Chain A
């Protein structure tokens, strides 16, 4: 419950701060690069997620945790 309240506050603050940050469309030269994508190298991330899902108790975060066995 505490966590949820904190999250609502963080989201609200972030959203209200959003109007003052950011770039104009012609300032996206660096952000437009493939390696600046939040999901750059998706195969590396997916392979890592599968390993850590099988070996650790936590999963997800970046993407859906989803189902799966991870029994071994």
Chain B
């Protein structure tokens, strides 16, 4: 009798707790009502000194239709203007480049890193995701992604299956995503390692146009990306939750950046020619991601580490930490620190030597070169009535590209071939 009574009390307590937490064991027994829509909005400004400026707006909506049948949708619009490093090296004298469209030229002053300032793009992105319990302890999620900009289209579908174990303390998941991208850049895709024609080398506009057209491929090209992700989430104790993910990504198709080039220099370091870059058309990546969140008495510590490696020989390490301190019951600050480090791709060349033959692949894009980067940020959030939240975030991001060990001939020794990139991000978010 006593035993029964104790069981009943435990049963009643469990039921009460489960209904408070909305766990499915109880949700299935008592029909739960749908929850109202929740909206998340944000506007982000991203500005690099003397380079790219972007403004990105996001509107996201989600709704629980009852029993954890959740829809979430998101619209992202961003606009991009400014200048981007072309891959060409600085020179002791002024340089002239043909624009990627073949229409017009731009000049870069002596000693300056060549930047192409023709970038102007608007992108719209749509995401939709549906998540629901499948049967006991299983959860399935599926989604679509569409992103369109002037010269680029990306479409993706994903599916994920998760299973809870051990009173929902352990979750194991497996997911697949397939993306199809199509690119049709302004002026066409350059022929790999074609020499950039300059108007001054031709007698007439027609002769130049013919020469430029000869460096271009017609039509669009595409890229397929298949991602596999395995995840393990574990509740450690009342304050700690941990996640470990493994991701495999296989990319096949056009990965060359049609706007990037390489300088061909002589032993004195002076540019003799400019060639459009050429990257491999396949890439296999592995990544491991680990995250731990710890509930402080008045805040949350969030620490994550990611390691990635791929068959382009790029290894990377990323350490990310966010510490949330609750200032009062309805406001908080959250400092953010991120450190990133990557090694150079095996085909990375800051320039090519005129006396040497062409490699099979080459890119002078600093983003596939060796670099470290760090981010310092601070967020301030205010919790308003009815679950509304207004927050402000400001971050500073700096990339420090490095020479992975290339000898610098002649004049290149006196020029900054690996300039830092400095950016500021400012964001306002509102949840209602």
Most chain-B Cβ atoms within 10 A of its Cβ — which of A24, A33, A41? A41
A7 to B386, CA, bound (A): 43
Closest 9 CB pairs of A and B: A22-B169, A67-B179, A61-B289, A58-B316, A26-B17, A30-B295, A61-B306, A64-B177, A67-B154
The reply on B429 being an interface residue by CB < 8 A is: yes
Q: Give chain B interface residues in 283-329, CB to chain A under 8 Å.
A: 285-289, 291, 293, 295, 300, 302, 304, 306, 308-309, 312, 314, 316, 318, 324
Give the shortest distance, in Å, between A25 (CB) and chain B (any CB).
5
A40 CB contacts on chain B under 8 angstroms: 300, 302
A22 to B169, CA, bound (A): 5
Known: A14-B234, A56-B340. A66 touches B46 (CB 8 A): no
Q: Give chain B interface residues in 337-382, CB to chain A under 8 Å.
A: 340, 342, 345, 367-368, 371, 373, 379
A51 to B55, CA, bound (A): 11
A9 CB contacts on chain B under 8 angstroms: none
B41 CB contacts on chain A under 8 angstroms: 43
A15 to B177, CA, bound (A): 25
Q: Give chain B interface residues in 244-267, CB to chain A under 8 Å.
A: 244-247, 249, 257-259
Known contacts A11-B230, A18-B234, A21-B236; 9 further A-B pairs (Cβ under 8 A): A28-B17, A30-B238, A40-B300, A56-B399, A57-B367, A58-B306, A61-B318, A64-B247, A68-B147
Pair B170/A18 contact, Cβ less than 8 Å: yes
The reply on B235 being an interface residue by CB < 8 A is: yes
Interface residue from B152, B239, B379 paired with A71 (Cβ < 8 Å): B152
Residue of B whose beta carbon sits closest to that of A65: B249
A47 to B391, CA, bound (A): 15
Known: A46-B58, A67-B223. A31 touches B244 (CB 8 A): no
Complex A-B: 17 CB contacts under 8 Å: A14-B244, A15-B170, A18-B170, A19-B166, A23-B237, A26-B13, A31-B238, A43-B42, A46-B58, A47-B42, A47-B427, A57-B312, A60-B285, A61-B247, A62-B245, A63-B229, A72-B119
Q: Which B residues lie at the A interface, using CB under 8 A?
A: 13-14, 17-18, 21, 23, 40-42, 44, 46, 52, 56, 58, 60, 74, 76, 80, 84, 119, 121, 145, 147, 149, 152, 154-156, 158, 165-170, 172, 175, 177, 179-181, 183, 223, 225, 227, 229-230, 232-239, 241, 243-247, 249, 257-259, 285-289, 291, 293, 295, 300, 302, 304, 306, 308-309, 312, 314, 316, 318, 324, 340, 342, 345, 367-368, 371, 373, 379, 393, 397, 399, 421, 425, 427, 429
Pair A22/B170 contact, Cβ less than 8 Å: yes
A60 CB contacts on chain B under 8 angstroms: 227, 247, 249, 285, 287, 289, 308
Query: Chain B's interface: helix, strand, loop or mixed, by majority?
Result: strand
Known: A47-B58, A72-B84. A25 touches B21 (CB 8 A): yes
Pair B56/A50 contact, Cβ less than 8 Å: yes
Q: Which A residues lie at the B interface, using CB under 8 A?
A: 3-4, 7, 10-11, 14-15, 18-19, 21-33, 35-36, 38, 40-44, 46-47, 50-52, 55-58, 60-69, 71-72
A58 CB contacts on chain B under 8 angstroms: 285, 287, 306, 308, 314, 316, 318, 340, 342
Pair B235/A21 contact, Cβ less than 8 Å: yes
A36 to B294, CA, bound (A): 8
Residue of B whose beta carbon sits closest to that of A26: B17
Interface residue from A15, A41, A56, A63 paired with B232 (Cβ < 8 Å): A15
B58 CB contacts on chain A under 8 angstroms: 43, 46-47
Known: A25-B14, A66-B227. A51 touches B425 (CB 8 A): yes
Give the shortest distance, in Å, between B23 (CB) and chain A (any CB).
7
Give the shortest distance, in Å, between A57 (CB) and chain B (any CB).
5
Give the shortest distance, in Å, between B229 (CB) and chain A (any CB).
6
